[in-house]
């Protein structure tokens, strides 16, 4: 049965990237109308059309840069997609696709690639050929490892892997040097190892895993602004938390934390701290409030 989730994230760059000017680039919803158009066709959507295959005629729309085939009955990515060399935004969310063909590497101009709510168990290494890719959405699939091919795409700004079965993360995430948004929530991660986060990372979501502790290396992410590690099995926070100099929002809710280190007072930019669902005594909360007078604390 296809997984259906209600996902709540800090922010998604793709929500911005995927918007196009409807006046300058009208979106066609019928292949015949698109083929008959006297104007160049740049955008087409077959969303929720109950399609099993892509209309073959689409390969004649060689200026197409936006294609939405979300919510259909596709079990594979048809060759016609890979003939669209100008594609920049491709949405194949909510289908039944089990693998990504080798031909994915032909879409050299692709910037946003969304394959949420499909049946992927692995990611084709040829994705590494997409050297202009900025956003990739792979949430709600059946992936069990962090796709190594993504480490070879330094242009990536956002990666969404929420709601998979990932238990292992490659420690050398720093290779994705432009990454700002990383969502690994609702997976099966229990050990972050010596994770080395990209210097530009601002948003990190790790909620709904089985994480026992946060490694010291994580606290070296000096540009991190939003961190969510709620609904894990974390018992304590290292004094090295003070390394998160730019942290604005920190969600530690629903863990097993009984106390927090005095070094929290050094988090001068912290505006929101969520501690609900932890066994912290009220007197310690009062002490924390005194340390962080400008922080809204929820407990």
One DSSP character per residue, 113-167 reads EE--SS--SS--GGGGG-TT--EEE--SS---B--GGGGG-TT--EEE-TTS---
Q: Are 237 and 258 in contact (CB under 8 A)?
A: no
Q: Which two tokens stand for residue 254?
A: 């629903």
- The stretches in the chain having pLDDT less than 70 are 1-20, 22-23
Q: Are 214 and 234 in contact (CB under 8 A)?
A: yes
Q: Are 172 and 193 in contact (CB under 8 A)?
A: no
Q: Are 183 and 206 in contact (CB under 8 A)?
A: no
pLDDT at 9: 44
pLDDT at 47: 97
Q: How is residue 26 annotated by DSSP?
A: P
- Which part of the chain has CATH 3.80.10.10? 1-166, 189-299
Q: Are 140 and 166 in contact (CB under 8 A)?
A: no
CA distance 186 to 165: 8
Nearest to 85 by CA among 105, 69, 108: 108
Q: Which two tokens stand for residue 145?
A: 């490892």
pLDDT at 24: 74
> Which residues fall within 8 angstroms of residue 213, CB to CB, at 6 or more apart?
234, 235, 236
Q: Which CATH number fits domain 1-166: 3.60.20.10, 3.30.470.20, 1.10.287.130, 3.80.10.10?
A: 3.80.10.10
Nearest to 216 by CA among 175, 184, 254, 244: 244
Nearest to 46 by CA among 37, 36, 33: 33
Q: The whole model's pTM is what?
A: 0.92
CA distance 276 to 205: 17
pLDDT at 171: 83
Q: Are 83 and 63 in contact (CB under 8 A)?
A: no
- In this structure, how many other beta carbons lie within 10 angstroms of the beta carbon of residue 207? 21
Q: Are 265 and 242 in contact (CB under 8 A)?
A: no
- Fold adopted by 189-299: 3.80.10
Radius of gyration of the chain (CA): 22
Q: Is the dihedral of CA 116, 119, 122, 124 positive or negative?
A: negative
- Rounded to 5 degrees, φ, ψ at 28 are -85, 145
Q: Distance of alpha carbon 26 from its chain centroid, rounded? A: 28
Q: How is residue 40 annotated by DSSP?
A: P
CA distance 257 to 271: 20
pLDDT at 182: 98
> Which residues fall within 8 angstroms of residue 63, CB to CB, at 6 or more apart?
40, 41, 42, 86
């Amino acid at each position: 049965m296809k997984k259906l989730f209600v996902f709540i994230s800090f922010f998604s760059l793709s929500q911005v990237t995927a918007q196009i000017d409807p006046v300058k680039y009208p979106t066609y919803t019928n292949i015949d109308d698109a083929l008959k158009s006297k104007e160049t066709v740049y955008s087409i959507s077959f969303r929720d059309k109950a399609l099993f295959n892509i209309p073959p005629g689409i390969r004649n729309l060689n200026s197409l840069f936006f294609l939405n085939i979300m919510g259909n009955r596709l079990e594979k990515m048809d060759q016609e997609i890979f003939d669209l060399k100008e594609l920049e935004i491709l949405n194949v969310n909510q289908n039944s696709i089990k693998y990504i063909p080798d031909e994915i590497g032909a879409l050299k101009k692709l910037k946003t690639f969304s394959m949420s709510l499909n049946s992927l168990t692995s990611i084709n290494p040829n994705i590494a050929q997409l050297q202009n890719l900025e956003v990739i959405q792979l949430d709600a699939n059946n992936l069990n490892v962090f796709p190594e091919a993504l480490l070879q795409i330094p242009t990536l700004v956002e990666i969404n892997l929420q709601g998979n079965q990932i238990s292992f993360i490659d420690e050398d995430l720093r290779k994705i040097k432009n990454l700002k948004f990383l969502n690994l929530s609702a997976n099966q991660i229990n050990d972050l190892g010596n994770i080395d986060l990209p210097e530009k990372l601002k948003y990190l979501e790790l909620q709904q895993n089985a994480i026992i502790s946060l490694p010291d290396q994580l606290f070296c992410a000096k540009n991190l602004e939003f961190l969510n590690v709620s609904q894990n099995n974390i018992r304590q926070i290292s004094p090295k938390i003070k390394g998160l100099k730019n942290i604005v929002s920190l969600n530690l809710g629903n863990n097993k934390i009984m106390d927090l280190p005095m070094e929290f007072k050094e988090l001068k930019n912290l505006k929101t701290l969520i501690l609900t669902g932890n066994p912290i005594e009220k007197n310690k909360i009062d002490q924390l409030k005194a340390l962080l007078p400008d922080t809204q604390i929820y407990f």
